[in-house]
Structure 1
Amino acid sequence: MILCIDQVLNPEQLEEIHRLLKEGEFVDGKLTAGRYAKTVKDNVQLKGDTEVAQKVREIVQTAIAQNPLFKAAVRPKTIRPIVFSRYEPGMSYGWHTDNAIMGERELVRSDVSLTLFLSDPDTYQGGELVIDTSLGEKLFKLAAGSMIVYPSTFLHQVTEVTEGIRLAAVTWVQSLVRDVQQREILFELDTVRRSIFEEHGKTVEFDLLCKTHANLLRQWVEI
């Protein structure tokens, strides 16, 4: 399931993030790429072990973790530290698949990848996130503060930026529910039961959906 979530960050948060990123130190993005991805990765990333990185990461991690749509769709168990990338004219990130296992001391399986767009799409040319799906290549260039989440199993790329600066936050999530189809079923059931409750309150049908949703969680969740 590919899901776009609007307004994960508000204008005040975006303004503060941009202010902090202007103060930050950026390093070669290849430092965090896998062996093969290094050959197609051309961007720079905010140095992670700095006070600036800690401040901006806290803003973004909190916003993502508290977003109700993200929680319902992804069922996060572990969210990897946020990486802040910058693409200048001529930079891109060619076709690649994210590493299945991430981390050093504490290993995390990447089930879901996410990109949180930080730049207004009118301020740069190119820089689309392209995901290779069963229905063909899909291009995404969302509003600043909006986020896309998608299964980490997909091949994807960031096209060359030809003008302006593209800023984005990216990370990876290990879900409590490993299977993407099971996550989608749970998300749809949750969406329906919320709709029923908002329109009709606590009905017999609502209770039955809650029971089914809970029992599927018991069957599928890995803790």
Structure 2
Amino acid sequence: MLLNLPDILGTQDLQTARQLLRDAPWTDGRDSAGSQARQVKNNVQLPYDCEAARAISAMVTRGLERSALFLTAALPKKIFTPRINRYSGASNHYGNHVDGAIRILPDGQRVRTDVSCTVFLSNPEDYEGGELTIADTYGEQHVKLPAGHAVLYPGTSLHQVQPVTRGERLACFFWVESLVRSDEQRRLLFEMDMALMQLRQAQGESAATTALTGSYHNLLRMWADT
């Protein structure tokens, strides 16, 4: 399931993030890549423990906690610490790759990468190129969202960042280990939850919505890995 999440970061958050990034200590993005990804990765990113990375990561995490759409779509169990990257100049693209299945947090915890997420920090007019291209069952999807918006997509997806030919593309990226490992099952639960919300808005609470809510939670109980 590929899903756009609006307004994970607000205007003030974005202004603060850009100020923090002005003098940020960028390093070679290949340092955190696996052996296959290193061959096609050409960007820079922040060390996870620098001041700018910690502050922006905290803002993104707070934004995710406020987003009902993120919570119902991702059903997060663990979230890999958000990282920050930049595409510009000679370090301007990331070729086709699939993210590693397991990531290790600084404290040693392992996170299974069920869901990938990118939060855009630059506005589309600030750079040319830089589309996140995701291959799915309906063909390639090209994603380039307003600053503060995010995209969720399965961690199993083949994807790339197209070359940035003007300006700079700043973004935050991370992975989610979901309570529900299967993308198909998460999609069914998400669609059911969205349909229930629409029913309640149109008809209010009823015996039917109560029964369907029970079915939703029974499916979640059946499929969840806690």
Please say whether Structure 1 and Structure 2 have the same fold, judged by a TM-score greater than 0.5: yes
User: Structure 2 CA distance, aligned partners of 1:115 and 1:51?
Assistant: 20
Deviations 1:116-136 (A, max 9, x none): 111010010010000112222
Please state if 1:215 is matched with 2:200: no
Cα distance in 1 between the residues matched to 2:71 and 2:52: 27
Instruction: Tell me the residue number matched to 2:99.
Output: 98
CA distance in 2 between counterparts of 1:136 and 1:194 reads 30
State the Cα deviation string for residues 35-68 of structure 1 (Å, max 9, x = none).
Answer: 1101110001012222222112111111123211
2:187 and 2:138 mapped to 1: Cα distance? 18
Bigger shift: 194-203 or 23-32? 194-203
Q: Matches of 1:106 and 1:9 in 2, distance apart?
A: 27
Q: How does 1:47-86 map to 2 (within 5 A)?
A: 47-86=47-86
Quick one: percent identity of the two aligned structures? 40
CA distance in 1, matches of 2:118, 2:99: 13
| Structure 2 CA distance for aligned equivalents of residues 92 and 9 of structure 1 | 24
Q: d(CA) in 2 for partners of 1:120 and 1:52?
A: 19
SS at match of 2:221: helix
Q: What secondary structure, in the 3-state scheme, does the structure 2 residue paired with 1:116 have?
A: strand
Note the C-alpha offset of 1:196. Answer: 1.6
Is 1:136 aligned to 2:133, yes or no? no
Q: Is the 8 A contact 1:24 1:47 kept in 2?
A: no
1:139 CA drift (Å):
0.8
> C-alpha displacement at 1:30, in angstroms?
0.6
TM (normalized to structure 1)?
Answer: 0.97
Aligned residue for 1:26?
26
Distance (Å, rounded) in 2 between the aligned partners of 1:135 and 1:199: 31
TM-score by length of structure 2 reads 0.95
For 1:18, give the aligned amino acid: R
1:185-200 to 2 correspondences below 5 Å: 185-200=188-203
Moved over 2 A (4+): none
Matched, 1:123 2:132: no
Q: Structure 2 matches for 1:105-184, cutoff 5 A?
A: 105-184=108-187
User: Counterpart of 1:93 in 2: which secondary structure?
Assistant: strand
Q: How far apart, in 2, do the equivalents of 1:51 and 1:144 lie?
A: 21
The answer to whether the 8 A contact 1:129-1:141 is kept is yes
Taking the aligned partners of 2:214 and 2:137, their CA distance within structure 1 comes to 33
Q: Which residue type is aligned with residue 64 of structure 1?
A: L
Aligned residues: 223
SS at match of 1:36: helix
SS in structure 2 of the partner of residue 23 of structure 1: coil
Contact 1:176 1:221 in 2 (8 A): yes
Tell me, what secondary structure is at the counterpart of 1:154? coil
CA distance in 1, matches of 2:47, 2:177: 23
Q: In structure 1, give the amino acid aligned to 2:53.
A: A
Give the secondary-structure state (helix, strand or coil) at the position aligned to 1:7. Answer: coil
How much does 1:150 deviate? 0.3
Q: How far apart are 1:170 and its partner, in Å?
A: 0.3
Structure-2 separation of matches of 1:206 and 1:147: 30
Deviations, residues 162-219 of structure 1 (Å, cap 9, x unaligned): 0000000000000000011110111111111112222222101110111101110110
The farther-off stretch of 91-100 and 56-65 is 56-65
